[in-house]
Structure 1
Amino acid sequence: MNEAVKLGAKFVSNSYGGAESSSDATYDSQYYNHPGVAITASAGDSAYGAEYPAASQYVTAVGGTALSKDSSSRGWTESVWHTSSTEGTGSGCSANDPKPSWQTDSGCSTRMIADVSAVADPAVGVSVYDTYQASGWNTYGVTSASAPIIASVYALAGTPGSSDYPAQYPYAKAGTAALNDVTSGSNGSCSTSHFCTAGPGYDGPTGWGTPEGTSAVSAS
């Protein structure tokens, strides 16, 4: 992270994560506190549960969705990506990381995952042409795909404000046409419904939803 920013990167995607630890706040300040840089992190692929660095207060935590064709004007129905009890998008209330000022969901006094989401279901994910490990076109998914998708939308939206933490940008567009609100599906069982179950407005598995163009993650 530090090297990428040192070399001038304004958009950095992270497709890794692991269990939270008591050292996460220290890692935040050492590696992820880069105002003016859009940093995305995968929410995880093991279904309900919080992971780090998605739990960092300084990154955009990206959840995962599943897409299916329909007859609507958009052409797609979108739901929480959840294949089994051990496979699906991560989400949840952090055990350690403080809640950023722009995040105000109830029931979690610390950092809540996720902020936004993108397609992650491997069955309907992204098409990749691979001649190194595979022959030709293949479809890949998981939140290792959704995090770079969101990073690319940030990049198309333009350079963030120099003192901004771009994770806050989608919150300013919450409830508008800038985001597709995902309202169905869950990634497991939890005592506080929105931690693991999609619904109108903000929820853990999909955040505020998926971007409808670049305005969802732009500074203005």
Structure 2
Amino acid sequence: MSTVNTLIRALTSVCAAAAIGCAVAPAASAAPVPRPACPDTGPDVLRCLTTYTPGAARTLVDGPAGWGAGDLASAYRLPGQPGPDTVVGISIAYDAPSLEADLAAYRTQYGLPPCTTANGCFRKVNQQGTPAPLPPEDSGWAMESTLDVSMVSAACPSCRIVVVEGHSPGFADLAETEDTAVLLGAKVVSNSYGAREGSTPLAFASHYQHPGVTVVASSGDTGFTAASYPAVVASTIAVGGTSLARDPDSPRGWTESAWRRGGSGCSAYIAKPAWQADTHCAKRTVADIAAVAEDIAIHFADAGGWISVNGTSASAPFVAGLAGRSGHAGAVQPAGLYAKAGSFTDVTTGSNDRTGTGQKCGGDYLCLAGPGYDAPTGVGVPDGLAGF
């Protein structure tokens, strides 16, 4: 780009010296490219599953960028009446110092009731369950935390939220955050992070299985590939991603397609659950269900205000919030979603093989959305709370 601009400046000078008119346009700037909030740091840790566009924060002159709580309530036909005060746990790494303030900005913007430490709705602790000392701050994971609590709030404004911050994104530390969230009363726990499945992470799989607790995890943000842990654990509801759009010509008023980056895959380790009947994965298939994972509005002070983010890090806590709002938290398990597949809106278009054609899996349901179950979107997206 610098070479192009140098040539433009040189040509402009020549034109001026010759006293002739030249119309030379400046080189166009490349469109901003979304980047991961949490860069990949290797195989021995988990990674948050959020992307954002640097410098994209905006003021409220024309409203926040991206889908807000009101849009999601409309798209998923959520009931108008308040739900129960179910405790939803957020398992996360590192500290997010402005988390409560960012949550307050989000809930105020969308007319949701306050959720604060003072009124007992919001709680933030370390992985041992105490309010201090909190782990070090990390801006990328803080963005993830902010997205998590915002999406739980959009799905269940009446739910209480407990955020358990791990000292690191290591498998052992985040496994402990899971256990601590349950000990602190969470009936649903959301996990917006992932790593390629393998024997090392799967050694901690038991921490994602608690009787009477619904565990939800993001399916991943790298399209059709190896299955993501902990979403691949059989006791976990694996949540894929969709792209959401308004559609005034449809009865619903909205339409969805498989998000091109949403994760799906076949496990190499986890046996095929009895409740899963697809035929092209000999073992566990990811995902089970899906929800919007693109163009989500959050308030994040570290980025200067309102920004739009993407990731199955959005869809997982949203589904966790719906499970909490349903009044059946804890009883909502993967098998039940398949048993109630008719209660979800089927997603029949889109692919997560990056090309949008399904070529990577040979046009198969493992990376191409179609009627009935498919791996990118599972049994479909929520239609109210009936499926829960």
Q: Figure out how many residues of one structure are paired with residues of the other and give that number.
A: 203
Label 1:210 to 1:27 Cα distance change in 2 as closer, same or farther (>3 A).
same
Normalising by structure 1, we get a TM-score of 0.86
Give % identity.
Answer: 48
Where does residue 361 of structure 2 map in the other structure? 190
Distance of 1:142 and 1:173 partners within structure 2: 26
Secondary structure, aligned partner of 2:239: strand
Secondary structure, aligned partner of 2:278: coil
Does structure 1 residue 127 correspond to structure 2 residue 297?
A: yes
Q: Runs of at least 4 residues of structure 1 off by over 3 A?
A: 23-26
- Whether contact under 8 Å (2:188, 2:329) holds in the other structure is no
Distance of 1:41 and 1:109 partners within structure 2: 21
Does structure 1 residue 172 correspond to structure 2 residue 349?
A: no
Normalising by structure 2, we get a TM-score of 0.50
Show the 5 A alignment for 1:102-141.
102-121=275-294, 125-130=295-300, 132-141=301-310
Where does residue 182 of structure 2 map in the other structure? 5
- Which of the two has greater strand per residue? 1
Secondary structure, aligned partner of 2:244: strand
Where does residue 42 of structure 1 map in the other structure? 218
- Whether contact under 8 Å (1:24, 1:96) holds in the other structure is no
- Which of the two has greater helix per residue? 2
Label 1:165 to 1:119 Cα distance change in 2 as closer, same or farther (>3 A).
closer
Where does residue 346 of structure 2 map in the other structure? 181
Distance of 1:109 and 1:35 partners within structure 2: 27
Distance of 2:281 and 2:362 partners within structure 1: 11
- Whether contact under 8 Å (1:90, 1:187) holds in the other structure is yes
Larger Rg: 2
Structure 1: segments with no counterpart, 5+ residues: 83-87
Flag the structure with more relative contact order, 1 or 2, with Cα contacts below 8 A and sequence separation at least 6.
1
Structure 2: segments with no counterpart, 5+ residues: 1-177, 354-359
Q: Which moved more, 1:99-108 or 1:16-25?
A: 16-25
Aligned partner letter, 2:191: N
**Which of residues 92, 113, 117 is equivalent to 2:265?**
92
- Whether contact under 8 Å (1:118, 1:210) holds in the other structure is yes
